[in-house]
Structure 1
Amino acid sequence: MILKNLQLTPVKKWVLGISLTFIALFGFFFLSIYWGWWGKLPDTEELRNLNQNEATEVFSSEGKLLGKYYIFDRQPVLYEDLPQHLIDALIATEDVRFYEHSGIDNRSLLRVFFKTILMGDESSGGGSTITLQLAKNLFGRKDYGHLSIVVNKVREAIIAQRLEDIYSKEEIIKLYFNTVPFSDNTYGIESAAMKFFNSGTKDLTLDEAATLVGTLKASHYYNPRLFPERSLERRNVVLSQMNKYGYLPSEEYVKNRVKPLELDYQYFSNNDGVAPYFRSQLKKELSKILDTLENEKGEPYNLYRDGLQIHTTIDYQMQQLAEEAMKEHMTSLQQQFEKAYGKNAPWKREDILNEVLQNSKQYKNLAAAGWSREKIMDSLHRKTEMELFDWGQKKLLSASIADSLQHYMKFLNMGMINLDPSTGAVKSWVGGINHKYFKYDHVSQSRRQIGSIFKPVVYTAAVEAGIDPCTYYSVREVTYEGGWTPSNSGSEEEDPYTKYPMATALAQSVNTIAVKVLFDVGLGNVLTQAKKMMFPDDLPAYPSIALGTAEMSAAELAGSFSSYVNRGKAAKPYYLTKILDKYGNEIATFEPQVAAQPAFSNTTRQVMIEMMKGTVNSGTASRLRYKYNLPNDIAGKTGTTQNNRDGWFVGITPKLISVTWAGTDDARIGFPSTYLGQGANSALPAFAILLQKMNARPEFSDITQAKFAAPSSTVQMMLNCEPEKRDNFLERLFTKGDKPKKAKKEKKGLFGKIKGLFKKNN
């Protein structure tokens, strides 16, 4: 009727009718989306309570970011922390009329409708405002077949207008920067700033801000880490847009567009970055703790979604130096290790390799699938392109699974922990040589025989029991009940008539004397002393413990040895101080766990410190002085186990306890010689290099310049004896052909089972 009254020509009527029909259909189509027929739209209440997954951050003791746990790497930032040039860069590049529209830029939308949708011209742009992009960032897009682009655009337009009704322009800018995806699976400007420039958002420079905004056009294509030239070109486009729309004076534009692209990329993956082994251990601990805590909804906190802030005791700078020290030493030690074995390396032996292959996950999976041994071996020896770890560089070469297993079998590994003895606070944690290729943690997971590291406990028990430190013991070998004859390490045979006081015996790590002292003080007293020092309860109750049959982790040893500089009180290692929720509320705190009572008297403590200082000044750890020229006050003890499988060093300074282990993960492969594998050569150098690095840093002077208190006059008198003596004629006469000694409360024949087990221990 309306068309008839307008007196239009038939053609015009037809065009008008088609147009009205199209408008009606589009209106119905729009309403169908609005009513949720294509999927529920978020209502006002949901938009007011936006809940985005946020990464949990781990901080060092000084508040530096160590790493993150996340599904999406996102960290929120306040509007006040957004520098103006960052906001200007976004507006000029993505939505120059942002402050003029209410979520939809009608001019741009019409261009998209006619050019992009009807004419298929994708070069015409997306017509997307910052608010529309925010809607997409928050709720994503779904697949609706051929209508996907239209349905998604309409959904985003509706959501955008609702967002504009709820939030101010400043709040929308903040929400946008907190949700927009950047390169390398990074969400939000704070995470991007930290990842690419090691900077907080508020500290981003103009060129850095322009670089990050530039990636928003295509986060992978303009990834500044992968494609620096493209990223630089795109950054300059952003600067040009800022200049074009009056956000950047021409002189500033010219100045910044010639700047090179300089990244300070930070890895926050499980394998990369600072302290990866520590973060892996921390994650296990946090999983247990968070299961006991509830959020405001009465649900357990989620490590990967709830944006928690984890504060630790780790010293960021010391951690970096410890990792550097480990790499420097292990690179050199690995070369010595492989050179010493030469062509006769055990990892090249066919019998060992076949055993490793048969125990491999790949072999077991194929065997379970019914493959024959011959077919499995053929598969495991088939070569393909693969990346193999090696010191200095990663190797990309043609190799088989068998080649890979053989390659990794040869690698020495290391564990090193440093802690504050007064509290047990862990300052650095190096669990291995490379977390990507060697997941096993040699600080907390690995429990190895500790060798001569246990000898200080024997001597501590002796002094505490009243045995004079100047009591002399012969180095002569004695055969004990069952035929056990402990001997001393070293290539040269010692004079059997030489006698050492306990201080010299400990400094030189004399096996025969350590066992004799244990028999004098009693095995039970030694075990009781160890328990007071927080040694594990499962120590082997045999006299052979004097030579280190006990298996312990580096972390356990560090806590026990802290008693020597903490008034006799052992401190259990701890590394968590507090956990905050994403709003900064404290939800858990953690305190040091220090023994309530001293494990020994202060006199005994002073005696043992002086004796272990002798180990460093003139004993098995003396290379700290003559090779590494360390002037620090240091006490310590080296340790080496049977067949040179494990090398240990415990470094004690007034304000730092350090325990280092070095060896292989395969028990069949030890060091080829005591010269190479002894703790003084395999483990001690990592501590020495770390201390050298700390000595060069003024910020560590409180630790490096700390001095042991002078021993009391009583202790000085107790240790005032000659470093060695020789048996006189009568002593030689009556000790010739010593009879076997019996171990108290030990079963007959015990040592016959372990005869010769500890021929080398230092």
Structure 2
Amino acid sequence: MIVKLSQQDIKRYNWYIWRFVIACFAFVVILIGLTTFGAFGPLPSLRELENPKSDQASEVRSSDDQVLGKYYSKNRSSVPYSKISPNVLNALVAKEDNHFLSHSGVDFWRTFSIIPYNLIGKRQGASTITQQLALNLFSDEERARNPVKRLFQKLKELIIAIRIEKHYTKEEIITMYLNTVDFGSNTFGISAASETFFNTTPDRLTPDQAATIIQLLTAPTANSPIRNPERALANRNFTLSRMVQEGFLGADEAEKAKAKPLGLNYHLVSHTEGLAPYFRAVVKEDIKKILKEIPKADGSAYDLDRDGLKIYTTVNYKMQQYAEDAQREWMRKLQHQFNTEWKGVKLSTRIKNYKLLIDQGMRQSDRYRQLKLEEKSDEEIATNFNTPDMVNLFTWKGNIDTLMKPIDSIVYCQMLLRNAMMSMDPTTGYVKAWVGGINFEHFKYDQVKKGARQVGSTAKPFTYAVAIENGYSPCMQVDNVPVTITGYGDKDWTPGSSLEETVPGRITLRTALARSQNWVTAFIMNEVKPEPVANLIKNMGVHTDVPPYPSICLGAFDATVMDMTAAYSAFANHGVWTEPTYLLRIEDKNGNLIYSKTPKVKQVMNEQVAYVMVDMMKSVIDAGTGWRMRGTYKLTNPIAGKTGTTNENSDGWFIGMTPNLVTGVWTGCEKRDFHFRTTHSGQGANSALPVFALYMQKVYADSSLGIKPNIDFELPKQPLTTALNCDAYSDEQKGTNEVEKKLSF
């Protein structure tokens, strides 16, 4: 039955419809007005629009302007528009907002057409790029699930988007968006996404790579090419089709791109990975202290993990890589030597304080701390550590998961050799390489700056330097016999000397230092006395306690790799000690300088004394304990240095000097009671020197570094007053000079 409406009825119904439309329009206007005035939450001010905040990773940069690593809560770094590939820009516009270049922040046609578009298979969202940027930058709330709350969020996004369009160009908007958006895998911004998924930079992304990354925006987890490669591939190809439809890509080129596999080079960026992790951890601690004293212009504090700071360091990217490679190459072999020496030996009967040390290691472990947090009793903890479980272990062939008792994993870790090295320019104090340990993921304690260990015979040059300062000659001869020093402490001190290492008869001071002879060194200490030696050591930058006792001449004190390397740099730098410097300056995200560092410099010894000591330490390499440098590693250039080995081979040292670089290396176990069983393997000449040699081989092979092997140490400005060539004297003449009474022994 058809009801025929009268003209009056039609007019009345039209009026109802128009009233409904007007009411809806008025409601929307009122909502927009209320939103504009902040009724549903504050909107960003003009100042905030002009200075949008987004968490940005702070970058640690090397001296050759490479990124060593980042500090972040969100892995995000900004890149300018000019360094983003057009493929990325085109893929984004085609996939997310094809009217981006023409709308003013809100695409009303897109908003009303979203339903029919999705019904016919054209997948796209309702928000424009500008609206998504508004959500990313100026909303502290998560995307609401409640429809009413989401409506209010959309209204705010709409108003903010329109305001953004008034204040920024399209290039600025799309750049800000790409630098802030979440791509999943804790990766924020196109720079981090390019690195994470394809190990490249945004300007080098190909059409298929750009499409793969852009398709992540719809659902970073669901569309992940790692978790759901088939879905990601289909979405990538859809994005490529959209690029063709919008005229950004030719059909033939798109088909070739679609035929490619995803071609991922996936590497999830981690704080513990990459070059110089120990160095970056130390720098982070330093910067946090610095930033406490330097507020922003508005008085607020800098946030290292969010403010996008640029941290410029002295570390050279290539030299750092060579240092880490050298450590890895030698320590893998050395660990095999160490394991062979202990093979078949019952550790509990041969290692002092074995049970105590293993118990300490257990109590310092993450597992123990977790069990304590769970309020487990001591008996329950003991049971846990003695029950086989899957544990992750470091090996020089890579991390492994294996089934073993956790207490046995503690023993395993205690039997792992540790190693640290630092390399610096002696003239500027700039640190060029810093390797604080063998694996930061498993062993985070830095042995360069924090880990003071007994220095052994690397302390001997300090005693000889005091002697040279007081007129002793490198050619002076001394009977190499036992020496007893009295008057210090309750007991007399008589150092030992192994039979096979002792050079019999009368020997020169040069030979005594080159062959690391304890008795002659003790004799010289008895002549010059401990106080001047201790004072010199402290004056040369050793910050740990150095008591004025005779035994310091043989290294009976602890020092860090950093302090010992810097001290030796004074020998190579005409007696001038320069503070080891690794942090040059800090800039904010806009390039404004907020901190800079100038190293301290002081003259700690006469330049003639410094040169004589360098020349004497050349003999260590040419005719002494450092002979492997010439014989095994074939380094023929001018090198000076000193090996060091402590009691029971617990610590092995080598500090090497060239005119351009001074490098200190230490090797040992975490606890000193775990050590090599023989001096043949445990001495510094075997446990530490090879790391230096391999490092220098790599440095010299790279001509781009400008470190030439054929340069010798500079002579003092004034003519030398000390004879250096002992072969020019007869046995009767050796050691004779103007201070005759000191030379007639």
State whether residues 183 and 219 of structure 1, in contact with CA within 8 Å, keep that contact through their aligned partners in structure 2: yes
Match of 1:484?
Answer: 493
Q: Which amino acid aligns with 2:42?
A: K
Q: Deviations over 1:87-120 (max 9, x none)?
A: 212111211122233333334322446898xx9x
Match of 2:336?
Answer: 335
Q: Deviations over 1:16-68 (max 9, x none)?
A: 99888877777776666566454334455543432222222211111111112
What's the offset of the Cα at 1:665? 1.2
What's the offset of the Cα at 1:680? 0.8
Match of 2:384?
Answer: 379
Taking the aligned partners of 1:600 and 1:266, their CA distance within structure 2 comes to: 52
What's the offset of the Cα at 1:458? 1.0
Q: Which amino acid aligns with 1:486?
A: P
Match of 1:70?
Answer: 72
Q: Which amino acid aligns with 1:419?
A: M
What's the offset of the Cα at 1:375? 2.5
**Structure 1 counterpart SS, 2:586:** strand
| Cα distance change on mapping 1:723 and 1:74 into 2, 3 Å | farther
Q: Which amino acid aligns with 1:638?
A: T
Taking the aligned partners of 2:503 and 2:322, their CA distance within structure 1 comes to: 43
Match of 1:535?
Answer: 542
Taking the aligned partners of 1:229 and 1:325, their CA distance within structure 2 comes to: 42
Taking the aligned partners of 2:698 and 2:217, their CA distance within structure 1 comes to: 42
What's the offset of the Cα at 1:527? 2.5
State whether residues 67 and 268 of structure 1, in contact with CA within 8 Å, keep that contact through their aligned partners in structure 2: no
Deviates more, 1:334-343 or 1:480-489: 480-489
What's the offset of the Cα at 1:386? 3.7
Structure 2 unaligned runs (5+)?
A: 733-745
Match of 2:581?
Answer: 574
Match of 1:600?
Answer: 606
Deviates more, 1:282-291 or 1:296-305: 296-305
Q: Deviations over 1:698-718 (max 9, x none)?
A: 213424343234799857844
Q: Which amino acid aligns with 2:513?
A: L
Q: Deviations over 1:213-260 (max 9, x none)?
A: 233233234445666666555444433322232112234334544556
State whether residues 567 and 598 of structure 1, in contact with CA within 8 Å, keep that contact through their aligned partners in structure 2: no
Q: Does 1:518 align with 2:525?
A: yes
Deviates more, 1:31-40 or 1:395-404: 31-40
Which residue, out of 585, 588, 593, partners 2:592? 585
Q: Deviations over 1:287-337 (max 9, x none)?
A: 121122232213333222222211111101100111111111111111221
| Cα distance change on mapping 1:355 and 1:297 into 2, 3 Å | closer
Match of 2:128?
Answer: 129
State whether residues 497 and 518 of structure 2, in contact with CA within 8 Å, keep that contact through their aligned partners in structure 1: yes
What's the offset of the Cα at 1:127? 2.4
State whether residues 453 and 559 of structure 2, in contact with CA within 8 Å, keep that contact through their aligned partners in structure 1: yes
Q: Does 1:680 align with 2:685?
A: yes
Match of 2:177?
Answer: 176
| Cα distance change on mapping 1:345 and 1:177 into 2, 3 Å | farther
Taking the aligned partners of 1:190 and 1:375, their CA distance within structure 2 comes to: 48
| Cα distance change on mapping 1:277 and 1:338 into 2, 3 Å | same
Q: Does 1:708 align with 2:713?
A: yes
Q: Deviations over 1:537-588 (max 9, x none)?
A: 7311100011101211000011111112211111110112222222212222
Taking the aligned partners of 2:436 and 2:69, their CA distance within structure 1 comes to: 16
Structure 1 unaligned runs (5+)?
A: 727-762
What's the offset of the Cα at 1:515? 0.5
State whether residues 331 and 391 of structure 1, in contact with CA within 8 Å, keep that contact through their aligned partners in structure 2: yes
Taking the aligned partners of 1:690 and 1:47, their CA distance within structure 2 comes to: 51
* Equivalent runs, 1:269-280 vs 2, <5 Å: 269-280=270-281
Taking the aligned partners of 1:546 and 1:324, their CA distance within structure 2 comes to: 33
Q: TM-score, normalised by structure 2?
A: 0.87
State whether residues 626 and 643 of structure 2, in contact with CA within 8 Å, keep that contact through their aligned partners in structure 1: yes
| Cα distance change on mapping 1:122 and 1:357 into 2, 3 Å | farther
**Structure 1 counterpart SS, 2:478:** strand
State whether residues 358 and 364 of structure 1, in contact with CA within 8 Å, keep that contact through their aligned partners in structure 2: yes
Taking the aligned partners of 1:280 and 1:375, their CA distance within structure 2 comes to: 35
State whether residues 96 and 125 of structure 2, in contact with CA within 8 Å, keep that contact through their aligned partners in structure 1: no
What is the number of equivalent residue pairs in this alignment?
717
**Structure 1 counterpart SS, 2:655:** strand
Which residue, out of 94, 101, 106, partners 2:96? 94
Match of 2:49?
Answer: 47
Q: Which amino acid aligns with 1:484?
A: W
Match of 1:106?
Answer: 108
Taking the aligned partners of 1:383 and 1:146, their CA distance within structure 2 comes to: 52
Taking the aligned partners of 1:495 and 1:509, their CA distance within structure 2 comes to: 10
**Structure 1 counterpart SS, 2:394:** strand
What's the offset of the Cα at 1:471? 1.4
| Cα distance change on mapping 1:675 and 1:14 into 2, 3 Å | same
State whether residues 508 and 619 of structure 1, in contact with CA within 8 Å, keep that contact through their aligned partners in structure 2: yes
Match of 1:747?
Answer: none
What's the offset of the Cα at 1:276? 0.8
Of all paired residues, the percent bearing the same amino acid is: 37
Taking the aligned partners of 1:659 and 1:588, their CA distance within structure 2 comes to: 28
**Structure 2 counterpart SS, 1:393:** coil
State whether residues 183 and 189 of structure 2, in contact with CA within 8 Å, keep that contact through their aligned partners in structure 1: yes
Q: Deviations over 1:581-620 (max 9, x none)?
A: 222122222222221x251242x22321221111111211
What's the offset of the Cα at 1:470? 1.4
**Structure 2 counterpart SS, 1:454:** helix
**Structure 2 counterpart SS, 1:509:** coil
Q: Which amino acid aligns with 1:510?
A: Q
Q: Which amino acid aligns with 1:392?
A: K
Taking the aligned partners of 2:417 and 2:724, their CA distance within structure 1 comes to: 42
Q: Which amino acid aligns with 1:521?
A: V
| Cα distance change on mapping 1:531 and 1:162 into 2, 3 Å | closer
| Cα distance change on mapping 1:228 and 1:414 into 2, 3 Å | farther
* RMSD between superposed Cα atoms in Å: 3.4
What's the offset of the Cα at 1:648? 0.4
Taking the aligned partners of 1:478 and 1:128, their CA distance within structure 2 comes to: 86
Taking the aligned partners of 1:468 and 1:93, their CA distance within structure 2 comes to: 80
| Cα distance change on mapping 1:125 and 1:525 into 2, 3 Å | closer
Q: TM-score, normalised by structure 1?
A: 0.85
Taking the aligned partners of 2:705 and 2:729, their CA distance within structure 1 comes to: 35
Match of 1:753?
Answer: none
Deviates more, 1:58-67 or 1:20-29: 20-29
Match of 1:211?
Answer: 212
Q: Deviations over 1:465-510 (max 9, x none)?
A: 11121111222223444353312236x37475x1210111111101
Match of 1:294?
Answer: 295
Q: Which amino acid aligns with 2:584?
A: T
**Structure 2 counterpart SS, 1:427:** strand
| Cα distance change on mapping 1:448 and 1:299 into 2, 3 Å | same
State whether residues 522 and 553 of structure 2, in contact with CA within 8 Å, keep that contact through their aligned partners in structure 1: yes
State whether residues 607 and 719 of structure 1, in contact with CA within 8 Å, keep that contact through their aligned partners in structure 2: no
| Cα distance change on mapping 1:143 and 1:252 into 2, 3 Å | closer
Q: Which amino acid aligns with 1:673?
A: T
Match of 1:79?
Answer: 81
What's the offset of the Cα at 1:162? 3.2
